[in-house]
């Protein structure tokens, strides 16, 4: 069954913003400052350049293939079945872990010590919201994005404006440190893929997706730059690197609980969009029988892939209860960077008649993704490589089983 096209440009932009302007902006700047120091803005710029290349590649591909699944679909169509499978595998596994991390982040901000219970309740509530229909999810995303943006703007207004004075200051930082900082900050940009994974539910995708992706990315970059300058100006590189909740340390004391509430809402917004995107990729892979075919079902009442939605919700809830996922952020980043590397490689095969991007953009995006993935902490790289090796084994066994049946 085909999904119903209901989302316009504004809805698609908001879904992307709700994924990008999430819990990452409240947490990513401190570890990035620890490795990039006063060159934090340079690390942010590197991450933004790679994200822009990825966004252009994703948008052009989504316009050609406006179906649910994102790079899973593009890789299969342009590079071959194994590359599409690996893109989908990395996205589903990595983003399921990221869902759990966002749920636990929400619980930690709202009720420390009871974060797992609250995280499970959040997963259940947002899964139910998505099951009720994607339009309701988009409306909730609008409200969450508006609230989080208001909190971030309040921090910027209350903080110091001397951020430029700290650029390049602090201990000497190597180019590797800047790249590692970029890899950590890239995690906060990754949400624009959610627009592409909703390709089958967007009206006029050839026009809507190429417009929505760069708009969402540009708005996010402007806001992140303002936040980075505020943090550098208010805390300085050293204090920022040591902070556990840096945005809560900016401005007067009364602002701290407001920021913590905003962080909790940001985690909810990210979780909402993540569950939405992972379920669509799961649905697309099930439709091609790369995942169990029972997940290939669309509700006649709401028009959403209800079984895939429910399966993702259950998987996230189980992970929340059983696993400490603080280290999963690096693993998720590795999976996302490989996912986008495949997207850029797919975009390089587009012909001019198909809306091919300017050739250097996907080439730079591919190289940037691989480079940033290599700079991540070694445990994240090793775990990521192991998961992708497992994915290749699953794909090979599936192909062998299919050949035996012929």
Domain with residue 260: its CATH number is: 1.20.1740.10
**Tokens 């001397």 belong to residue:** 162
Cα–Cα nearest to 213, from 366, 4, 15, 7: 15
Please check whether residue 406 lies inside any domain of the structure. Answer: no
The total domain count for the chain is 1
Residue 269 located in a structural domain: yes
* 98 neighbors 329 (Cβ within 8 angstroms): yes
Which of the two residues, 188 and 313, has the higher pLDDT score? 313
Q: What are phi and psi of 7, to 5 degrees?
A: -90, 135
Q: Is the pLDDT of residue 371 over 90?
A: yes
Give me the domain span that covers residue 65.
9-400
Give the model confidence (pLDDT) of 255-313 as tens digits.
989 988 888 888 887 788 788 878 887 887 788 777 778 888 888 777 788 898 899 99
At residue 105, the pLDDT reads 77
CA-based torsion, 14, 119, 335, 330: positive or negative? positive
Per-residue confidence (pLDDT) for residue 373, from 0 to 100 = 92
Count Cβ atoms below 10 Å from residue 294 Cβ, excluding itself.
10
Q: Which of 264, 268, 279 is nearest to 96 (CA)?
A: 279
395 is a domain residue: yes
In a domain, 51, yes or no: yes
Q: Within a domain: residue 223?
A: yes
**CA proximity to 103, closest of 304, 286, 268:** 268
CA–CA gap between residue 122 and residue 269 (Å, rounded): 11
Each residue of 37-81: pLDDT tens digit?
888 999 999 999 999 899 889 888 887 887 766 788 899 999 998
Q: Which residue in the block uniquely carries the two structure tokens 């409240």?
A: 26
pLDDT at 322 (0 to 100): 79
Percent above pLDDT 90 for the chain: 22
Only one residue has tokens 């290939």, namely 296
- How much is the pLDDT for 281? 78
Sign of the dihedral through C-alpha 304, 305, 311, 312:
negative
Q: How many CB atoms lie within 10 A of CB 326?
A: 11
**pLDDT for res 53:** 92
Predicted local confidence at residue 30, as pLDDT? 83
Say if 405 falls within a structural domain: no
79 token code pair? 């590079």
According to the model, what pLDDT value does residue 134 have?
A: 56
pLDDT tens readout for residues 140-167: 667 777 888 899 999 999 887 665 655 6
Structural domain includes residue 3: no
- pLDDT value for 224: 93
Asked, for residue 298, whether it belongs to a domain, the answer is: yes
């Amino acid at each position: 069954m085909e999904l119903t096209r209901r989302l316009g440009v504004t809805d698609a932009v908001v879904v992307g913003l709700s994924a990008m302007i999430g819990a990452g902006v409240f947490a990513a700047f401190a570890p990035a400052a620890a490795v990039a120091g006063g060159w934090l803005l340079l690390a942010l710029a590197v991450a933004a350049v790679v994200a822009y290349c990825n966004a252009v590649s994703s948008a052009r591909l989504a316009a050609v293939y406006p179906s649910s699944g994102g790079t899973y679909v593009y890789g299969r169509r342009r590079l071959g079945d194994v590359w599409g499978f690996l893109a989908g595998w990395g996205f589903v596994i990595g983003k399921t872990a990221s869902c759990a991390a966002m749920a636990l982040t929400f619980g930690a901000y709202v009720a420390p010590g009871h974060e797992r219970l609250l995280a499970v309740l959040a997963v259940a509530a947002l899964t139910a919201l998505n099951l009720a229909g994607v339009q309701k999810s988009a409306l909730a995303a609008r409200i969450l994005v508006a609230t989080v943006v208001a909190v971030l703007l309040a921090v910027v207004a209350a903080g110091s404006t001397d951020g430029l004075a700290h650029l390049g200051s602090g201990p000497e930082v190597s180019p590797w440190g800047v790249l590692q900082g970029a890899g950590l900050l890239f995690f906060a940009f990754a949400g624009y893929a959610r627009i592409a994974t909703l390709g089958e539910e967007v009206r006029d995708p050839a026009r809507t997706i190429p417009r929505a992706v760069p708009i969402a990315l540009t708005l996010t970059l402007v806001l992140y730059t303002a936040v980075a300058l505020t943090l550098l100006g208010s805390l300085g590189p050293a204090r920022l690197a040591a902070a556990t909740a840096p945005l809560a340390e900016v401005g007067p004391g009364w602002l701290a609980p407001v920021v913590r509430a905003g962080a909790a809402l940001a985690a909810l917004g990210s979780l909402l969009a993540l569950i939405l995107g992972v379920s669509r990729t799961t649905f697309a892979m099930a439709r091609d029988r790369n995942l169990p075919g029972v997940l290939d079902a669309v509700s006649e009442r709401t028009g959403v892939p209800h079984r895939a939605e429910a399966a993702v919700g259950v998987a996230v809830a189980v992970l929340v209860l059983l696993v400490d996922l603080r280290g999963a952020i690096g693993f998720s980043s590795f999976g996302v960077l490989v996912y986008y590397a495949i997207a850029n490689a797919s975009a390089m095969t587009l012909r001019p008649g198909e809306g091919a991007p300017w050739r250097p953009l996907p080439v730079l995006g591919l190289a940037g993704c691989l480079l940033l993935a290599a700079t991540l902490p070694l445990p994240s790289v090793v775990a990521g490589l192991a998961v992708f090796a497992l994915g290749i084994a699953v794909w090979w066994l599936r192909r062998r089983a299919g050949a035996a049946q012929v």
